[in-house]
Amino acid sequence: MRIVAGQYRGKKLFSPDTDNIRPTSERAREAIFNILNSRLGSDYSKIHLLDVFAGTGAFGYEGLSRGMASVTFVDKDVKPAQKNAKLFSKEQEKISFVTADASKLPKARKKYDLVFCDAPYEKGLSEKALCGLVAGDWLADGAICIVETKNNEQFALPENFALIDERIYGLAKISFLRYK
């Protein structure tokens, strides 16, 4: 597992020590950022990223490599993401962690422009996490939420979200949502 592009292109990340963590593939991360580039441009310097169900933090560190203003990792166990944070010693002021159940998030300290939500497949957690983001006031107006689910998994879209794009990459379905 490595960073695909940006300042830290090629940097190897620590792989998970458990089968409970399923990092987003390099191919899918590259495709997601290509779509984001077409929607947002390639200057991410003012974008604050929230990586929910972070696991190893592969998506968040990819964003950091591409110039995100900050990245916050949310997971019940942030140790795998913290282990990878040590590889980004020059970026420590841009990295933060929240140890929490994504479906029961605390009140946010700041709002995020971009959210990546990669819940365990087929457990019904994506919708709960989106509702938790709204309830905790985590989302900036117009925020883009990227939700990874299994390719045939369905989830109900909460009322404050609009589906703007959807793609399938192998076993993963990537849904792009806009918060309104």
The domain tally of the chain equals 1
In a domain, 49, yes or no: yes
**Model confidence pLDDT, tens digit, residues 96-121:** 999 999 989 999 999 999 999 999 99
pTM: 0.93
Spell out where 76-138 has E strands.
Answer: 95-99, 112-117
Angle between helices 26-40 and 58-65 (to 10 degrees): 50
The answer to whether position 74 is within a domain reads yes
Domain assignment present for 146: yes
Cα separations (Å) of 152 from 121, 139, 168, 173?
Answer: 10, 27, 9, 8
Query: Side chain identity at 177, as an amino acid letter?
Result: L
Q: Which two tokens stand for residue 10?
A: 């090629």
Q: What Cα–Cα distance (Å) separates residue 133 from each residue in 20, 143, 167?
A: 23, 11, 23
Does residue 150 fall inside a structural domain?
Answer: yes
In a domain, 126, yes or no: yes
| pLDDT reported for residue 17 | 66
Residue 32 in any domain: the answer is: yes
In-domain check, residue 104: yes
- Tell me the CATH number at 48: 3.40.50.150
Q: What is the pLDDT of residue 18?
A: 62
Q: What is the largest CA-CA distance in the chain?
A: 40
- Which residues of the chain, if any, have pLDDT below 70? 16-23
List the domain range (segments joined by +) for residue 166: 26-179
Residue at 12 is within a domain: no
